[in-house]
Amino acid sequence: MNSEILSFENVTFTYNAEDGPVRPAVADVSFSIQQGEWIALVGHNGSGKSTIAKLMNGLLFPNKGKVKVFGQEMSEETLWDIRSDLGMVFQNPDNQFVGATVQDDVAFALENNGVPHAVMVERVHEALSQVKMEDYKDHEPHHLSGGQKQRVAIAGALAMRPKLLILDEATSMLDPQGRMEVIETIRRLRESTGLTVISITHDLEEAALAERIIVMNLGQKNMEGTPAAVFSQGSKLTDMGLDLPFAMRMTHLLQEAGVGLQEEHMTEDKLVDELWKYYSKA
């Protein structure tokens, strides 16, 4: 099942390159993503994550290097074909809304893709219920609360039934429960449909759930690996403006306070387990 769905080959991109020498927003970045993977893309503010997302859906084209999606090189010619299977949720949902009502907005990409009306209606309904926004289907998307806007933007991407879903901080304004629900929904979709997910996030608890993390720093790819491997780099991450998941921070704080924990824990359950063992042995 290991087939490549997206790759960057030595991609460099500079905004306004004509204005003279500025640091590239994305500098010589390469990676390969396989079908069905869940990737977290993390990095400090301005490290190039959203630029990478825009290169992935052909909103921007590299100055150097190649972007390949679904086996085709991204270009003016392949762009529309690629986009019909690619769902994208931008950092600010307001920039993304096109419909006058929530349901029109969610239906927009489907109409563009020529989905028959009856199917469309059903998918819009399904997508809105997946994000718990059916009650708002006749509302104007710009006149919603911050979290409601993000839910609608996510519904728009889900309704397309994409093969590849790119989320650019798509849950940053959801309450913790809402965020877990959305992550759970996408996780289920992934299991049932083989969806590939690339999630850009500052939430390291969320990144810890991914199969693989790509870490950006100053426009360059700095690290790539499983959450356990990436988070074991500790101070290297904090030096880049990042942090560790809560359970790992707690492990370190407890060790500093004199509790002799032996292992690094990524989850609270495991941490409590070791604390209990440690305590009951004493």
Partner 1 sequence: MEILLKGVGYSYAKDTPFEKRALTDVDLHIPSGSYTAIIGHTGSGKSTVLQHLNALLKPTEGVVMIGDRKIEAGVKAKDLRNVRRQVGIVFQFPEQQLFDETVLKDIMFGPLNFGVPEKEAERRARELVVQLGLPEGVLDKSPFDLSGGQMRRVAIAGVLAMEPEVLVLDEPTAGLDPRGRREIMDLFHELHITKNLTTVLVTHSMEDAARYADRIAIMHKGRCVVTGEPKAIFSNEEQLQDYSLQPPRSVRLQRDFEERTGLKLGEVSLTEEVLAKNIALAMADGGGSL
Ligand X SMILES: Nc1ncnc2c1ncn2[C@@H]1O[C@H](COP(=O)(O)OP(=O)(O)OP(=O)(O)O)[C@@H](O)[C@H]1O
From the CB of 54, what's the least distance to ligand X, in Å?
Answer: 8
Find out whether 241 and 229 touch, Cβ atoms under 8 Å.
no
From ligand X, partner 1, Mg ion, none, which one binds at residue 4 (CB under 5 to 8 Å depending on kind)?
none
* Paired sense of beta strands 196-200 and 164-168, if any: parallel
Which of 148, 171, 196, 199 lies at the binding interface for ligand X (CB under 6 A)?
Answer: 148
For 108, half-sphere exposure in the C-beta direction (CA atoms, 13 angstrom radius) is 17
Which of 121, 189, 223, 275 lies at the binding interface for partner 1 (CB under 8 A)?
Answer: 275
| The one-letter amino acid at 279 | Y
From the CB of 216, what's the least distance to ligand X, in Å?
Answer: 6
Judged by CB under 5 A, how many residues of this single chain contact Mg ion?
4
In the sheet that 196-200 helps form, which strands lie side by side, from edge to edge? Answer: 86-89, 164-168, 196-200, 38-43, 212-217, 220-225
From ligand X, partner 1, Mg ion, none, which one binds at residue 246 (CB under 5 to 8 Å depending on kind)?
partner 1
Which of 6, 11, 25, 160 lies at the binding interface for ligand X (CB under 6 A)?
Answer: 25
| The one-letter amino acid at 156 | G
Q: Is 249 a binder of partner 1 (CB under 8 A)? A: yes
Find out whether 218 and 23 touch, Cβ atoms under 8 Å.
yes
In the sheet that 4-13 helps form, which strands lie side by side, from edge to edge? Answer: 26-34, 4-13, 64-69, 72-73
From the CB of 50, what's the least distance to ligand X, in Å?
Answer: 3
Find out whether 248 and 256 touch, Cβ atoms under 8 Å.
no
DSSP state of 91: S
Task: For partner 1, give the closer residue by CB, 77 or 269.
Answer: 269
From the CB of 219, what's the least distance to ligand X, in Å?
Answer: 7
Task: For partner 1, give the closer residue by CB, 109 or 133.
Answer: 133
DSSP state of 267: S
Give the separation between CA 255 and CA 249, rounded to whole angstroms.
10
Q: Is 91 a binder of partner 1 (CB under 8 A)? A: yes
Q: Is 51 a binder of ligand X (CB under 6 A)? A: yes
Q: Is 46 a binder of ligand X (CB under 6 A)? A: yes
Q: Is 199 a binder of Mg ion (CB under 5 A)? A: no
Which residues in the 30-69 window bind Mg ion by CB under 5 A?
Answer: 49-50
Which residues in the 127-146 window bind Mg ion by CB under 5 A?
Answer: 145-146
Take residue 61 and report the two structure tokens written for it.
């084209």
Residues near Mg ion (CB under 5 A) are 49-50, 145-146
Residues near ligand X (CB under 6 A) are 15-16, 25, 43, 45-51, 91, 143-148, 173
